[in-house]
C-alpha cells in the first residue's frame, strides 16, 4: 500500500509546483523559517486525491512517534516548492523500503547541492518531482529493507 501514498505511485501524473524564488533567496532562508500557507481545505483535498481520509488513515502503519503520514511538498519548500494542493503528497512515515524519512534525506541533500552550486535549481526541482527514489539511490545507494 505504500506506493499509493507517494507521488505517482498510483499512476497519476504529479508534477509539483514551484514558487518564483532564486537560489540566493532559497539558500539564505534558514530551515524553512519562511511562512507556510497550507490550509485545512488544501490538506483535505490532497489526502482525498489519493483516496485517503486524512493523516490518521490506516493505510500506513504508525511510526515510533505514533504518526502515520506526512503531507509533504513534492518539490520541497527548501527548493522553492509552493504551498499548493498540486504540490502536496501524502507519504507514509513508516514502511520499507520507501517512506517520508528517506525523501527528507534527499530534500536536504539536494538543498546542499543547489546552494553549493553543484546542481542548478530548476533541474533539481524537476529531478525530485520526477523520481525522488532515483535521487536517493544516486546519493545514498539502496534503501534499508
Say if 145 falls within a structural domain: no
What is the distance between the alpha carbons of residues 127 and 110, in angstroms, rounded to a whole number?
10
Structural domains in the chain (count): 1
pLDDT of residue 6: 42
φ/ψ of 39, rounded to 5, equals -85, 165
Say if 103 falls within a structural domain: yes
pLDDT of residue 8: 41
What is the average pLDDT across 61-71?
Answer: 94
Selected residue with higher pLDDT from 3 and 12: 12
Buried b or exposed e, range 41-78, using 16+ CB within 10 angstroms? ebbeebbebbebeeeebebbeebeeeebbbbbbbbbbb
For 57, the domain range is: 2-140
Say if 131 falls within a structural domain: yes
pLDDT of residue 99: 94
pLDDT of residue 30: 65
pTM of the model: 0.85
What is the distance between the alpha carbons of residues 19 and 83, in angstroms, rounded to a whole number?
9
Say if 124 falls within a structural domain: yes
Say if 57 falls within a structural domain: yes
What is the distance between the alpha carbons of residues 54 and 103, in angstroms, rounded to a whole number?
20
Say if 99 falls within a structural domain: yes
* pLDDT tens string 78-114: 999 999 999 999 999 998 889 999 999 999 999 999 9
Selected residue with higher pLDDT from 95 and 76: 76
* pLDDT tens string 8-47: 444 444 578 999 889 999 998 765 566 778 999 999 999 9
Selected residue with higher pLDDT from 123 and 145: 123
Say if 126 falls within a structural domain: yes
Q: Which of 21-30, 50-59, 116-125, 133-142 has the lowest mean pLDDT?
A: 21-30
Amino acid at each position: 500500500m505504500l506506493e499509493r501514498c507517494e507521488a505517482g505511485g498510483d499512476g497519476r501524473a504529479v508534477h509539483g509546483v514551484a514558487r518564483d524564488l532564486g537560489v540566493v533567496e532559497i539558500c539564505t532562508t534558514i530551515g524553512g523559517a519562511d511562512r507556510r500557507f497550507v490550509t485545512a481545505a488544501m490538506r483535505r483535498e490532497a489526502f482525498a486525491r489519493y483516496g485517503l481520509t486524512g493523516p490518521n488513515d490506516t493505510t500506513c502503519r504508525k511510526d515510533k512517534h505514533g504518526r502515520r503520514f506526512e503531507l509533504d511538498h513534492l518539490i520541497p519548500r527548501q527548493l522553492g516548492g509552493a504551498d499548493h494542493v498540486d504540490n502536496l503528497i501524502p507519504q507514509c512515515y513508516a514502511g520499507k523500503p520507501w517512506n517520508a524519512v528517506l525523501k527528507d534525506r534527499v530534500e536536504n541533500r539536494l538543498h546542499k547541492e543547489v546552494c553549493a552550486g553543484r546542481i542548478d535549481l530548476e533541474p533539481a526541482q524537476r529531478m525530485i518531482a520526477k523520481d525522488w527514489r532515483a535521487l536517493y539511490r544516486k546519493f545514498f545507494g539502496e534503501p534499508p529493507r
